[in-house]
Amino acid sequence: MKLQWLGTAGFKVEVGDRVFLIDPYLSRNAQARPVQSMQPAEIAGAGQIFITHGHFDHLHDVPAIMASGSSTVYCSETAAATLMREGVDGSRITTVGSDGFAANFGAYRAEAFFSRHVKFDIPLVARTLWRIGPRYRRLSGMHRGYPVGQVLSWRFTIGGYTMHHFGSGGSPPEELERLAAHPPDLLLVPLQGHSHICDIAFEYVRVLRPRMVIPHHQDDFYPPISTAVDVSPFVKKVRENFPGTEVKIMAINETITL
Ligand SMILES: [Zn+2]
């Protein structure tokens, strides 16, 4: 299996001759760092696209990717409505309406679980508004056009290997404890949206006990809405407390083989 980080919460996964995408978002803006030069058409050969929630930094480029290929998309009802508004044919959308949704794609199996969005804390909101300043009207309009909807986390089973992807870090303890009945080999955990996100992400590792963890979404994908998140306190805490869990930091567009 090959895993490529596309920036934000986006990943491309290759399993044999199958390719699927999770939350692919490439367009960013001119100030974003690192720079993403990949175009939607370059990943349009994917068979399936799985979406965690409806925010623009997870959904915005999906219509462009789908327009260049024949992929189908799996998402919440709210995200589906946004995609159809943006011109995606409803016959290519599968809405996930229940917790525990599962589908088999030959080489791999995908399961969706109801999850929650991280609650932006007051200091983070204050710092963000300060950075945005007079651009608030334009940027908040864009945010409103991409409502969150039901948040999903996705578990992929590939042979005997499991990988669990979260697009936002709002999972309450009971959700993580339930998912911990099947500890993933690989955890993809987002580090964005809260002043204490390193501690929040550490909780995912503490409860789910993956063999490997890859932090993502820490990049400065849409300044001034975003800033780069320093993940080093998270990395240090995992290494100190769970030396058996490998922490891998990926560079944008880097591909690893698992
Ligand atoms: Zn979000």
**pLDDT tens, residue by residue, 129-170:** 888 887 777 777 778 899 999 999 999 999 999 999 999 999
Least confident of 78-87, 129-138, 164-173, 216-225: 129-138
Domain ranges for the chain, please list them.
Answer: 2-257
Fold of 2-257: Metallo-beta-lactamase; Chain A (3.60.15)
Distance 258 CA to ligand 1 centre (A): 27
Rounded Cα distance between 35 and 45, Å, is 22
pLDDT of residue 86: 97
CA 188 – ligand 1 centroid, Å: 15
pLDDT score of 125: 82
Backbone angles phi, psi at 142, to 5 degrees: -65, -40
The answer to whether 163 and 156 have CB atoms below 8 angstroms apart is yes
Q: Kindly indicate the confidence band of residue 205, based on its pLDDT and cuts at 50, 70 and 90.
A: very high
CA of 195 to the centre of ligand 1 (A): 15
Q: Which of 196-205, 222-231, 235-244 shows the lowest per-residue confidence on average (mean pLDDT)?
A: 222-231
pLDDT of residue 52: 98
Task: Say which residue the tokens 């936002």 belong to.
Answer: 168
**Ligand 1 centre and the CA of 87: distance in Å?**
22
User: Ligand 1 mean position to 8 CA, how many Å?
Assistant: 10
Ligand 1 center from residue 52 Cα (angstroms): 9
What pLDDT was estimated at residue 53? 98
| Rounded distance between C-alpha atoms, residue 14 and residue 20, angstroms | 7
| For range 110-130, the mean pLDDT | 89
Task: Give the rounded percent of residues in the chain with a pLDDT score beyond 70.
Answer: 100
Please, what sign has the CA dihedral across residues 152, 125, 194, 252?
Answer: positive
Among 47-56, 151-160, 221-230, the range scoring the smallest mean pLDDT is 221-230
